[in-house]
Amino acid sequence: MYKVIYDEKQVKKFQDKYFNKDDIYLTYMSARKKYEPALSSKNGCMNRKTISGKSSLIKNLKHYEISQECYYDYDKSLVIPPHSLVTYCSVNSRDVKKACNDMATSIISIAFDGRVPNIKDGKLNTYLQKHSIKKYIGIDFDDKDEKTFENLIDDLKSKIPEFDIIETKGGYHIIFHKKYLSGEAGKYVYKDLKKKYPKIDTISNDLFSPIPGTLQGEFEVKFVTQM
């Protein structure tokens, strides 16, 4: 069996922190070429699932724990190995109204043009991925150097009073509420901080993060106590 969850308590903690019971979120599995070079680069978003904020994220993730040899590379020539897999979840809820509007517009346009629709044109999940209700900001820091990361955290604390840290296979995700980015703090985070720390891969208002309590390329993703 493919193993996704190693610590249910951390998965539940992630859901309790970021999920609103009245909203919709997305999870998906990815097979990363950087973890297994033999793979194609077309397995970035496999088996995408919606989840209601009041549903169990643990149960959602267990649907990915299926028999090995059930996940194949995009070209079907290679069974995807467990050490290449990671499961992501949206930190922000999805904007269902905008997603539905996009899907309806696409389908109507195809009907009037007389084209043969692609199956993706009718898949709501495709449009949900594009639209979020932006509440949280995520910094993706791609470095495991402890001293550099400690300096980054110290600098961030001077502007952002509250944030969470998730340790990933290649670095850290730092997540905080967008309300803290008003005025000078916004300029500092988006411009000054990224310039000072070139290992910041992205600062995103729609972060999809590996989930604490799950495996990312066989690495145990986890919440980190603030330094």
- Per-residue pLDDT tens digits for 146-184: 999 999 999 999 999 999 999 999 999 999 999 999 889
Distance CA 87, CA 69 (A): 17
**Angular region, 106: left φ>0, alpha ψ -120 to 50, beta rest:** alpha
Kindly tell me the sign of the dihedral angle through the C-alpha atoms of 17, 172, 221, 66.
positive
Distance CA 105, CA 99 (A): 10
- Per-residue pLDDT tens digits for 5-30: 999 999 999 999 999 999 999 999 99
Please state the domain extents for the chain: 1-93+207-222, 96-129, 135-205
Distance CA 83, CA 69 (A): 13
CATH of segment(s) 135-205: 3.30.70
Task: Report pTM.
Answer: 0.90
